[in-house]
Amino acid sequence: MKLHEYQSKRIFARYGIPVQEGEVATTPQEVRSLAEQMGCPVVVKAQVLVGGRGKAGGIKLARTPQEAEEVAARILSLQIKGLPVRKVLVARAADIQQEIYLGIVVDRAAARPVMMASSEGGVEIEEVARTHPEAIKKVHIDPFVGLRGYQTLSLAKGIGLPPALHRDFGRIAQGLYRSFVECDASLAEINPLVITPEGVLLALDAKIVLDDNGLFRHPDLAELRDIDEETPSERAAREAGLSFVQLDGDIGCMVNGAGLAMATMDIIQHFGGMPANFLDIGGGARADRVATALRLILADPRVKAVLFNIFGGITRCDEVARGIVSVLEEVRPNIPIVARLVGTNEAEGRQILESSGYGIITATTLAEAAQKAVAAATTSARD
Ligand code: GDP
Ligand code: MN
């Protein structure tokens, strides 16, 4: 679960990180009066749960309350990466001498958190990571020992921070690490952490992503969920208990088991297709869950074909096939459906699908199913 910048800043502030905090507003008039109270220049910042707001026109400086009202009106009418901007953060604008990046994520391969810092922070950090990754300094943190002073010092030196700022940088890094651990976060990031012309460090942006599996320990954080920010599909999936991740391709995938779902996505790509989603419908493949899942997949107008890849273990394939047919009766998709059922009673299952009259394309192997789905998506008439 992602937190908004203003929410993340409040948390960071509790851990002693100096933040440019500000106030949230939903109308241009409110922004104007906040700008009057705070004194200009102010910065008006779209609060949407995606990165790259600056590049999308969602972050603007204003020299007068009048200008703040105008830029707020523009930002509040934006959609950034498909999400409408409903709130903005208004803060006293800071002067920037240098933008630094400081963040923590879990490094799964190393099985511990990694703290990263760069002297080239700001909106181009992804570009820095791609083109000259050596400009990003890293330290791995042993969770039993914690973040050590020598580690923050080596980051500070590694990014060429003036010695006068080493102590404050260390405090900020420790605060960031503690907030990351205590919130059960999977990411905590300050980009940019700026050096002002007065020579002090200040967090101008803040981002926390919470690990959903740890949310039950944090009812106060769980309450921060902004349901306005979930796409309708994400919400429906969460409520139905499905793991569903929307992707950019055109082949909808309905699979039981996360590992099989990933393998299915890989093989679709191997045969030149692009999966439209990751979806694990879980064990049992009950008809109502299959129906919800299929509706979710079909709600995406880009989907041109659907691939069912069901591994029937204890679940019998003929039962699953009946489930699929009853769902098709109800949902009646107008795009090709490819189904591969393997396991107990698979021949009966295939027979049920083939004689259902819905033109379901069946396949025996995963490779065959993926190739048929890719071909079906290429020739599908849906637009
Ligand atoms: P993001 O694009 O979603 O990461 O949003 P940020 O909050 O990081 O803002 C993007 C960029 O806007 C920053 O890298 C800064 O260059 C600039 N910016 C943000 N706040 C301020 C501010 O208070 N003063 C100035 N001068 N620039 C700012
Ligand atoms: Mn940023």
- Domain locations along the chain: 21-92, 98-222, 231-379
- pLDDT value of residue 138: 98
Task: Provide long-range contacts, Cβ within 8 A and 24+ apart, for 366-370.
Answer: 366/263, 366/264, 366/267, 366/309, 366/340, 367/267, 367/271, 368/340, 369/307, 369/309, 369/338, 369/339, 369/340, 370/264, 370/267, 370/268, 370/270, 370/271, 370/273, 370/307
Look at the domain 231-379 and name its fold.
Answer: Rossmann fold (3.40.50)
Using a 10 angstrom Cβ sphere, with 0-12 exposed, 13-18 middle and 19 or more buried, the burial of residue 365 is exposed
Question: Kind and range of the H or E element at 25?
Answer: strand 23-25
Torsion of CA 118, 124, 129, 131, to 10 degrees: -120
Is the CB of 207 within 6 Å of ligand 1? no
Q: Which residues pair with 337 in a beta bridge?
A: 306
Tell me the percentage of the chain whose pLDDT exceeds 90.
75
Lowest mean pLDDT among 22-26, 55-59, 235-239: 235-239
Mean pLDDT of 260-276: 96
Mean pLDDT of 267-295: 86
Lowest mean pLDDT among 70-84, 221-235, 251-265, 355-369: 221-235
Protein residue closest via CA to atom 16 of ligand 1 = 122
Query: Which of 43, 88, 125, 127 to mutate to test ligand 1, by most ligand atoms within 8 A of the CB atom?
Result: 43
Q: Is the peptide bond before 333 cis (omega within 30 degrees of 0)?
A: no
- pLDDT value of residue 77: 97
Calpha distance 296→302 (Å, rounded): 12
- pLDDT value of residue 226: 85
- Token pair for 295: 């509706």
Q: Which of 263, 271, 279, 274 is nearest to 303 (CA)?
A: 274
Any residues with CB less than 8 A from the CB of 3 and at least 6 apart, and which?
11, 207, 208, 209, 210, 221, 224
Task: Provide the pLDDT confidence category of residue 115 given band limits of 50, 70 and 90.
Answer: very high
Is the CB of 204 within 6 Å of ligand 1? yes
- pLDDT value of residue 74: 98
Contact in structure between 105 and 113 (CB atoms under 8 Å): yes
Is the CB of 52 within 6 Å of ligand 1? yes
Lowest mean pLDDT among 40-49, 111-120, 202-211, 280-289: 280-289
Lowest mean pLDDT among 83-92, 135-144, 169-178, 240-249: 240-249
- Token pair for 254: 């309905």
- pLDDT value of residue 261: 95
- pLDDT value of residue 326: 85
Task: Provide the pLDDT confidence category of residue 177 given band limits of 50, 70 and 90.
Answer: very high
Specify the CATH class of 21-92 in words: alpha beta
Q: Residue 286: pLDDT above 80?
A: no
- pLDDT value of residue 217: 97
Look at the domain 98-222 and name its fold.
Answer: D-amino Acid Aminotransferase; Chain A, domain 1 (3.30.470)
> What are the angstrom distances between the C-alpha of 121 and each of 103, 136, 176?
10, 9, 16
Q: Residue 383: pLDDT above 70?
A: no
101 is an active site residue: yes
**Mean confidence (pLDDT) of the chain:** 93
The ligand that comes nearest to the alpha carbon of residue 80 is 1
Q: Residue 93: pLDDT above 80?
A: yes
Protein residue closest via CA to atom 11 of ligand 1 = 54
The SS3 assignment for 82 reads coil
CA of 142 to the centre of ligand 2 (A): 27
Look up the pTM and report it: 0.77
Task: Provide the pLDDT confidence category of residue 41 given band limits of 50, 70 and 90.
Answer: very high
Calpha distance 368→177 (Å, rounded): 48
Protein residue closest via CA to atom 7 of ligand 1 = 205
Do 21-92 and 231-379 come out as alike in CATH topology? no
Q: Residue 354: pLDDT above 80?
A: yes
- pLDDT value of residue 382: 65
Task: Provide the pLDDT confidence category of residue 183 given band limits of 50, 70 and 90.
Answer: very high
